[in-house]
Chain A
Amino acid sequence: MTYSTTVRYQRYTFVSLAEVFAKANEEKSGDSLAGIAATDQRERVAAKRVLADITLREILDTPLIDPANDEVSRLILDSHDAAGFAPLAGLTVGEFREWLLDDATTGETIAGVQQAIAPEMAAAAAKLMSNKDLILVAAKIRNVTRCRNTLGERGVLGIRVQPNHPADDLGGILLTVVEGLLYGCGDAVIGVNPAIESVDTVAVILHSLDRLITVSGAPTQHCVLAHITTQLAALERGAPIDLLFQSVAGTQAANASFGISLDLLREGRERTLEHHAQRDVRWIGQNVMYFETGQGSALSAEAHHGIDQLTLEARAYGVARAFAPHLVNTVVGFIGPEYLYDERQIIRAGLEDHFMGKLLGLPMGCDVCYTNHAQADQNSADNLLTLLTAAGCNYFMGVPCADDVMLSYQSTSFHDGAAMRRLFGLKPAPEFLAWLEERGIVSGGQLAIGDMATHPLLGELQSLIGAVDVR
């Protein structure tokens, strides 16, 4: 089926829905790299006009990647809520955009049809929205999850403490965690990216984080972001897993390049739930997965099927939502300038990803970040951080001074988390806030700690840090 339109006497024809989707995107270097981007702004707007008139029914009936060859396509179709879809099916993408923006459409209204909104529909709407639109709609939606605490409620901004170390030195990792806690961070998760992808290392870090949470009493969850098979092997050897992590993408082939399948994710989740039932921990919910995503990952793995990176990102959320995660975040800006060239593209992608994730029902956070080979700097990160806080983002990263000394990129800091909470009047997760107040870290809603060297938490953790110090 071809699609065509006329823009000021010039005729534009698109040979497939995939071409309309790709060319309707805002400019991204990754789509250019894939050779599927609009050639100029006129063609881009022509594609947007065509897309605005396509119905959601037609999008559902026209899979961009053949379900016969792709299990993500099959998952999306099999899990689609046909009954809930009835009132939406006849809407064009243009009408769907207006319905989402309508003041009468509340977060609760949207929550009622989340499973009827397929990822490709969320992507289509994003393509017609301005940055402000993406913020406005996302801000309506709260997707609340529970593991050892409650994340995502209105008025709450979570922060992951990301205490990475270039050689997985436990003392260095734990000291970073303590400082993060003293800035009120760590409610989203205490999550370490290990430098060494070995079962022993992962198990040791998991044991240490678990002890730290037990000793400090902080109501939060931990995670070591190794490959899912490495984490499961650590679990097999007796290591405690709070959240099971995995990077996911929007095509079967891209997931295969990550060394995963939907079956593996399913098995991982089941084993983690069984493991939780056996541990003496006060779980308050069954959201046990943590996923990371990012535009461009499928193209990077040469597994994109000619589909644009925004749409594939939405499909990654289709994968994520099938496993009831506690945390999902796009690592926007990590992938490099060949996919998101500069600050403008990174900011756009961050807002699109957050909007689509929220619309699809995910507890969406964002690693607001950039690499040193992209046209961006910390001011770019400040901008996106502020915009996403306005959009109601569930959580951000907390890295000492935003400088990740293991992954060598810049994210957001403990200071940044405190700044956004102050600027927008937001609080940590409720259970975590109660603990922060009890420990005197937060008082009267404000950070009360000036100097961590004098806080008793450090002294209490000294023995723990000593116990893991084998040097």
Chain B
Amino acid sequence: MAREIQPQPQNQLTRALAELRARTPARLVVGRAGSSYRTDTQLELREDHAFAVDAVHSELDLNRDFDPQLVASYKLFEVQTQAHDKAEFLKRPQLGRQFSDEARATILAHCPTDVDFQIVVGDGLSSAAVVSQVPALLPLLAKGAQARNWSLGRTFVVCHCRVGLLNDVGALLRPRVAVLLIGERPGLATAESLSAYMAYRPQAGHTDAQRNLISNIHARGVPPDQAAARILALADQMVAQQISGIAIKEELTVNLDGKSVASRLA
């Protein structure tokens, strides 16, 4: 039987290639069996898919999943959208864009309105992302707001939350800048990737055109300290220009250490 199996590529990786390969989580240099994957690759992919699917369906529980100290120091509390469970949340996205009546009452009872900077945490499609990234991100953002003399709203956690909830946050609390830290759809490489969606004076009718996004906040993407710096820089721009969305362009290139690579290549 003819078999087209290549020699183990791992053994022949030059050092330079190995170093380069370490810079991306992409599945490179895996070899091939004809025009297909080697068996190891095939099964690794199946394994990662199994875990990603599980991450979508796991529920967030503030008291179980967060350090009690963090919950206490930021007086975090948990509310729900109009989606009752994950299945309904997946099928009917509009329910995840609106607070339940109970949530509205709770938020109004506990949160100051008309603040300069409001941080909201939403589970989105991965509670694992929220659990992994928010504990590092939240203190950095709070510190940044303090350094700018901004009034900071009280942060709360929203279960079954979609990005469009930002409009409802605006209607309820009227913040100047709102940041929604929300779990991204789990990929095979990581289920711990968080997004920060931001809006200047969010309100009914806003779409993604009025929002700015920093995505891929996780250990191998944008680490929390860089994410916090970028979120705050965007907030500065929003405050200065009194607008958010496509009119605002990020000027930071933190992953490139600010050096002008373009000029070296031009």
* B-binding residues in A (CB < 8 A): 29, 33, 163-173, 175-176, 179, 195-201, 203-204, 207-208, 210-211, 227, 229-230, 233, 237-239, 256-259, 300-302, 336-338, 341, 371-373, 377-378, 400-410, 415-416, 418-419, 422, 447, 450-454, 458, 462, 465, 467-468, 470-471
Contacts and interface: CB of A to CB of B under 8 A. Distances in A.
Given A372-B55, A470-B256, 13 more contacts: A167-B255, A171-B20, A197-B213, A302-B207, A372-B49, A400-B26, A403-B188, A410-B49, A451-B6, A453-B17, A453-B29, A458-B17, A468-B261
B229 to A, nearest CB: 12
B255 A196 contact: yes
Contacts of B1: none
Sort A-B residue pairs by CB-CB distance and give the 8 closest, nearest first.
A408-B187, A172-B24, A166-B221, A419-B35, A259-B246, A401-B27, A198-B250, A257-B207
Contacts of B214: 196
A405 to B, nearest CB: 4
A165 B24 contact: yes
A403 B29 contact: no
A199 B246 contact: no
B201 interface: no
Contact of A403 (B13, B45, B53): B45
B104 interface: no
Contacts of B262: 200, 203-204, 207, 237-239
A216 B242 CA distance: 46
Residue among A210, A378, A422, A453 having the largest count of chain B Cβ atoms under 10 Å = A453
A31 to B, nearest CB: 13
Interface stretch (B72-80, B89-97, B133-141, B144-152): B89-97
A405 B266 contact: no
B251 A200 contact: yes
B185 A204 contact: no
A82 to B, nearest CB: 35
A363 B246 CA distance: 29
A467 B264 contact: yes
Contacts of B207: 256-257, 301-302
Contacts of A233: 249
Interface in B180-213: 184-190, 193, 207-209, 213
Contact of A378 (B13, B45, B190): B45
Chief secondary structure at chain B's binding surface: loop
B257 A176 contact: no
B39 to A, nearest CB: 13
A207 B262 CA distance: 6
Contact of A204 (B46, B53, B213, B261): B261
Interface residues of B, number: 74
24 contacts: A166-B193, A166-B218, A166-B221, A167-B221, A171-B23, A172-B23, A173-B24, A175-B23, A175-B28, A176-B26, A197-B213, A197-B250, A198-B252, A259-B246, A302-B207, A337-B90, A373-B185, A405-B24, A405-B190, A415-B32, A415-B36, A450-B32, A452-B9, A453-B17
B16 interface: yes
Contact of A451 (B9, B16, B93, B265): B9
B261 A170 contact: yes
Interface string B111-126: 0000000000000010
A198 B253 contact: yes
Given A166-B222, A301-B207, A419-B36, A196 B253 contact: yes
A468 B265 contact: yes
Given A198-B252, A200-B251, A467-B265, A408 B185 contact: yes
Interface string B147-177: 0000000000000000000000000000000
A441 to B, nearest CB: 14
Contacts of B56: 372-373
Contact of A179 (B29, B125, B218): B29
